């Protein structure tokens, strides 16, 4: 059996939503659809699979899937390459860009343009263009967490920024935040389950996101997970989830270390830059009191100055591109940990009820209550969802860090290339002059 | 690297060559000195080959450790094919003996810009560099500096033919006595006086004034440059070394990864390589700093030549003033008019005129004195003119040398920077390859 998306609930009066079947339920019968619900299969042979994700086994980190991810996006309409989606079967493209400042009497805030292109029938139109602010993203994420508690929801950039410490309206801050929001939305759109969530649909398409009214679209699982808060203690986390937990802890720690190292490098580079600037200007000063040596000295001063500019660019890049991605992954790890905890809770509830029922059975031989079975299903679903998301997350992480680290190496190479060019042109200039002088001397 | 085939003794850098290190650049400078040729250098090759630590009793009978340097002299002729190079004549000298030699040269040739010695104590150091005189790196750089000093003296048209210098190179034991016998010690005191004296010249030679100002400016600028350079070196060291931390954390991270493990581990090694490359880089840069320091110290030598000129000029003016004064006295005595207040005049008024005899004897004495003073003045004039002529000749030579050497040093500095960039690109490219395999 599988956990489905909301059944038969309209979202803002549009067409009813597809029954979302679990990606791992490939072998099982699709749920008999309700009167309003249709099952769509997008470009894939296996029935019941959503989004055409060619999952043969419950490990999307398999070679073929990875290959798909790494494929160049030749036939997509996407603005840029999205390393997360499979090339052939993507049918939902989202982009966040174009930040604008809005000033009202009450407050000042930034909105971003969210553009959507899609062929999915869940959407009425093939294209949407709406403006959303951070609050709206936050709302979306909360709704996703509530309605899909068994899934890993990608993180958002930090919500609170200390006023006075960071300028919320500086170009850099807005740019960094926007990139993170774009990444968040793309990850959601790429997720085989999350991307069909009606809240996402509303977020992408509604003219006015009426959040207060709230789309009461809680899944069955959502409700029951919320109620499962009460006091069940987990006895033993299964080994594989333990391994996940340990991995996340260690990984988070390492990322923290890398973050500190990167910050230290930025600091050292900044201090080096200060001294280097003075150093360069001294050569230029010296040039002023020399005749024959004026050109070489000025040349050195200029080359040093060029290197300063290149270093400035490098450091800025570290701050703006490298560090935010690291920090975002730390948040991602926290999300994953919280999903693990929820899974633990759900298992705890099941075990608790099971125990209680077993005791009662002993006493008065009543059959296993249906609740217990439901709990068991819940746990199994949760485990399956989590495992699938975990594999996806691992694969994405690998891609993301490969890109991040290669990019950093590139920036450093670029920095040295710029410096080398500056010095080489100086040497050529000076050696040419030297040759000139010598020929004129010997003549 | 050095194209010696063209026969032109002026070519010191191969055109378009981008591989000269600062040490090679120093060699270029030395080759220029050698090729410009003096009689001395035509005869012999000079090296400061080694350094050794010695312990011994000093003048106050206390144990001390000091370093001695081995000077090697070889005949300058080329070794025939298959022949054995002649064994060099060698002797050991310590730094204080070099100092003694230089002081002797300074007072004996006050119109010459005498080449400076490498610094007595390490200055302008950045934190990783040792300020210890016995530190092997410092000793090595000093050895190079001392050799440079000897070659500069040996290639100087005037200084190279000095007997004491020759003995310094050839006579280990008897040299000290020979130097002291020249009696240069007295001149040392008068020179010190002249350097610190606060006299005012009425008609200073404008060229020397300008030169002194230029020299002072250069001193200030190079000092500042060396100070900031040390700070830059410190900071750059920090940047490189922090990257070494990546090595460790990548290694730890790789332990929890499956597919990413190998790539991270290798990349970490490259980061370690990057971090440790800074030591060599900064070591090489010290040679460049030494080249700047030489010219910093040269400014002191230039300054003292200017000062000497001032002193001579001053003495000349004083002598001329004296003579004028005496001539006036004579005139008064002859004509009987007292224009200038003098004690004699006063006492004459008070106690009566002196006798004709007295007057005549005084006049005779004055005449003699005037004659002597005129001779002195003539000598001083000649001395002054001679000084200006010879000094200015050496100054012109020095200017050309300075321009050549510093230009060479700047080119080699640029080349060093290129090499640093290339190394950086290499390491990061290697790391990138590892990251690509993640």
Report pLDDT for A310.
97
- Supply A148's token pair: 């899909």
Residue of chain A whose Cα is closest to the Cα of B400: A292
- Give the nearest partner residue to B235 out of A250, A271, A406, using CB atoms: A271
Distance, CA of A296 to CA of B410 (rounded, Å): 7
- Give the nearest partner residue to B249 out of A261, A409, A426, using CB atoms: A261
Determine whether A418 is exposed, middle or buried from the number of CB atoms within 10 Å of its CB (0-12, 13-18, 19+): middle
Residue A237 three-state SS: coil
Distance, CA of A373 to CA of A379 (rounded, Å): 10
Report pLDDT for B9.
38
Distance, CA of B351 to CA of B320 (rounded, Å): 33
Q: Does B11 contact chain A (CB < 8 Å)?
A: yes
Q: Does B1 contact chain A (CB < 8 Å)?
A: no
Report pLDDT for A305.
97
Smallest CA-to-CA distance from B404 within B32, B6, B102 is with B32
Report pLDDT for A360.
78
**CA angle, A27 as apex, A22 and A31 as ends, to 5°?**
55
- Supply B146's token pair: 């001392």
Q: Is the model's pTM score more than 0.95?
A: no
| Residues B46-98 pLDDT 10s | 889 888 888 888 778 888 888 899 999 888 776 667 767 777 788 999 999 99
Report pLDDT for A411.
96
- Give the nearest partner residue to B229 out of A264, A279, A297, using CB atoms: A279
The CA distance from B20 to the nearest CA of chain A, in Å, is 11
Average pLDDT score over residue span B298-312: 92
| Residues B103-151 pLDDT 10s | 999 999 999 999 999 998 888 877 766 667 778 888 888 999 999 999 9
* Residues from chain B contacting residue A438 (CB–CB below 8 Å): 8, 10-11
Please list the rounded mean pLDDT of every run of 10 residues in chain A (443 residues).
Answer: 38 37 37 39 38 39 42 39 53 92 88 91 88 93 89 85 70 89 93 91 85 47 48 77 92 94 94 96 94 94 97 92 90 89 88 83 72 85 90 92 95 97 94 74 58
| Residues B158-194 pLDDT 10s | 999 999 999 999 988 889 999 989 888 888 877 777 7
Report pLDDT for B124.
82
Beta-carbon contacts of B318 under 8 Å, excluding residues fewer than 6 positions away, are none
| Residues A144-175 pLDDT 10s | 988 888 888 998 988 776 666 667 778 888 98
Report pLDDT for B2.
35
Smallest CA-to-CA distance from B178 within B188, B165, B190 is with B165
Is B407–A416 a contact, with Cβ atoms under 8 angstroms apart? no
The CA distance from B205 to the nearest CA of chain A, in Å, is 20
Determine whether A389 is exposed, middle or buried from the number of CB atoms within 10 Å of its CB (0-12, 13-18, 19+): buried
Distance, CA of B253 to CA of B251 (rounded, Å): 5
Distance, CA of B376 to CA of B250 (rounded, Å): 83
The interface predicted TM-score of the complex, written ipTM, equals 0.84
- Give the nearest partner residue to A405 out of B222, B225, B435, using CB atoms: B435
What is the residue-averaged pLDDT of chain B?
85
Residue A384 three-state SS: helix
* Residues from chain B contacting residue A283 (CB–CB below 8 Å): 225
Residue of chain B whose Cα is closest to the Cα of A421: B418
The CA distance from A268 to the nearest CA of chain B, in Å, is 5
Beta-carbon contacts of A255 under 8 Å, excluding residues fewer than 6 positions away, are A326, A329, A330, A333
* Residues from chain A contacting residue B425 (CB–CB below 8 Å): 413, 416-417, 420
Which of the two residues, A41 and B356, has the higher pLDDT score? B356
* Residues from chain A contacting residue B222 (CB–CB below 8 Å): 286
Average pLDDT score over residue span B359-379: 87
């Amino acid at each position: 059996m599988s956990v489905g998306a909301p059944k038969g609930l309209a979202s803002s009066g549009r067409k009813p939503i597809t029954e979302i079947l679990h990606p791992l339920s490939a072998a099982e019968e699709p749920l008999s659809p309700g009167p309003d619900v249709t099952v769509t299969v997008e470009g894939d042979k296996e029935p019941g699979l959503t989004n055409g994700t060619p999952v043969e086994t419950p490990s999307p980190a398999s070679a073929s899937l990875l290959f798909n991810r790494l494929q160049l996006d030749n036939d997509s309409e996407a603005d840029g390459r999205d390393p997360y989606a499979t090339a052939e079967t993507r049918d939902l493209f989202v982009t966040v860009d174009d930040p604008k400042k809005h000033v009202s009497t009450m407050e000042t805030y930034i909105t971003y343009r969210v553009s959507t292109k899609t062929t999915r029938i869940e959407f009425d139109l093939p294209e949407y263009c709406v403006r959303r602010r951070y609050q709206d993203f936050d709302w979306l994420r909360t709704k996703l967490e509530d309605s899909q508690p068994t899934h890993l929801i990608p993180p958002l950039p930090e919500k609170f920024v200390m006023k006075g410490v960071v300028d919320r309206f500086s170009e850099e801050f807005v740019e960094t935040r926007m990139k993170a929001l774009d990444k968040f939305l793309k990850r959601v759109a790429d997720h085989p389950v999350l991307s069909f969530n009606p809240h996402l649909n509303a977020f992408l398409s509604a003219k006015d996101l009426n959040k207060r009214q709230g789309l009461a679209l809680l899944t069955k699982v959502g409700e029951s997970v919320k109620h499962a808060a009460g006091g069940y203690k987990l006895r033993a986390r299964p080994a594989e989830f333990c391994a996940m937990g340990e991995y996340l802890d260690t990984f988070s720690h390492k990322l923290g270390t890398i973050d500190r190292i990167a910050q230290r490098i930025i600091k050292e580079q900044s201090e080096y830059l200060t001294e280097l600037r003075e150093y360069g200007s001294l050569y230029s000063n010296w040039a002023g009191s020399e005749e024959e040596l004026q050109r070489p000295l000025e040349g050195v001063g200029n080359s040093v100055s060029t290197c300063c500019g290149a270093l400035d660019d490098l450091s800025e890049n570290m701050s703006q591109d490298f560090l935010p991605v690291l920090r975002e992954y730390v948040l991602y790890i926290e999300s994953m940990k919280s999903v693990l905890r929820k899974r633990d809770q759900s298992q705890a509830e099941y075990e608790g009820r099971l125990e209680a029922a077993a005791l009662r059975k002993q006493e008065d031989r009543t059959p296993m209550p249906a609740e217990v079975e439901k709990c068991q299903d819940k746990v199994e679903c949760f485990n399956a969802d989590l495992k699938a998301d975990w594999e996806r997350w691992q694969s994405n992480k690998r891609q993301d860090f490969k890109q991040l680290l290669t990019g950093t190496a590139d920036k450093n190479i670029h920095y040295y290339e710029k410096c080398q060019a500056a010095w080489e042109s100086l040497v050529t200039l000076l050696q040419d002059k030297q040759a000139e002088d010598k020929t004129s001397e010997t003549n | 690297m050095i194209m010696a085939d063209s026969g032109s003794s002026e070519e010191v850098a191969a055109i378009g060559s981008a591989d000269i290190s600062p040490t090679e650049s120093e060699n270029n400078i030395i080759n220029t000195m050698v090729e410009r040729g003096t009689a001395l250098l035509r005869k012999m090759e000079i090296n400061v080959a080694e350094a050794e630590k010695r312990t011994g009793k000093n003048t106050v009978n206390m144990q001390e450790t000091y370093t001695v340097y081995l000077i090697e002299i070889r005949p300058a002729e080329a070794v025939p094919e298959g022949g054995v190079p002649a064994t060099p004549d060698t002797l050991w000298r310590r730094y204080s003996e070099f100092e003694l030699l230089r002081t002797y040269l300074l007072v004996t040739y006050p119109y010459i810009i005498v080449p400076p010695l490498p610094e007595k104590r390490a200055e302008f150091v950045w934190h990783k560099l040792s300020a210890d005189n016995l530190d092997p790196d410092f000793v090595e750089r000093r050895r190079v500096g001392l050799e440079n000093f000897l070659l500069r003296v040996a290639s100087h048209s005037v200084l190279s033919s000095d007997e004491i210098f020759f003995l310094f190179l050839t006579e280990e034991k008897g040299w000290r006595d020979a130097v002291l016998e020249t009696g240069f010690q007295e001149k040392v005191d008068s020179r010190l006086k002249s350097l610190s004296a606060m006299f005012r010249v009425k008609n200073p030679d404008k060229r020397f004034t300008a030169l002194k100002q230029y020299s002072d400016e250069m001193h200030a600028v190079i000092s500042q440059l060396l100070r900031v350079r040390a700070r830059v070196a410190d900071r750059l060291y920090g940047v490189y070394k922090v990257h070494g931390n990546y090595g460790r954390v990548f290694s730890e991270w790789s332990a929890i990864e499956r597919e990413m493990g190998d790539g991270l581990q290798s990349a970490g090694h490259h980061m370690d390589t990057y971090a440790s490359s800074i030591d060599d880089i900064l070591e090489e840069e010290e040679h460049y700093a030494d080249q700047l320091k030489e010219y910093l110290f040269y400014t002191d030598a230039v300054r003292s030549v200017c000062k000497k000129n001032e002193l001579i000029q001053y003495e000349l003016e004083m002598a001329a003033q004296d003579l004028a004064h005496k001539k006036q006295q004579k005139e008064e005595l002859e004509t009987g008019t007292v224009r200038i207040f003098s004690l004699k005049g006063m006492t004459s008024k008070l106690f009566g005129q002196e006798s004709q005899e007295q007057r005549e004897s005084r006049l005779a004495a004055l005449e003699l004195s005037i004659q002597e003073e005129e001779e002195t003045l003539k000598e001083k004039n000649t001395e002054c003119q001679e000084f200006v002529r010879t000094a200015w000749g050496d100054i012109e030579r020095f200017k050309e040398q300075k321009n050549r050497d510093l230009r060479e040093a700047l080119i080699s500095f640029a080349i060093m920077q290129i090499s640093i960039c290339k190394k950086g690109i290499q390491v990061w490219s290697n790391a990138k390859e590892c990251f690509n395999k993640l």
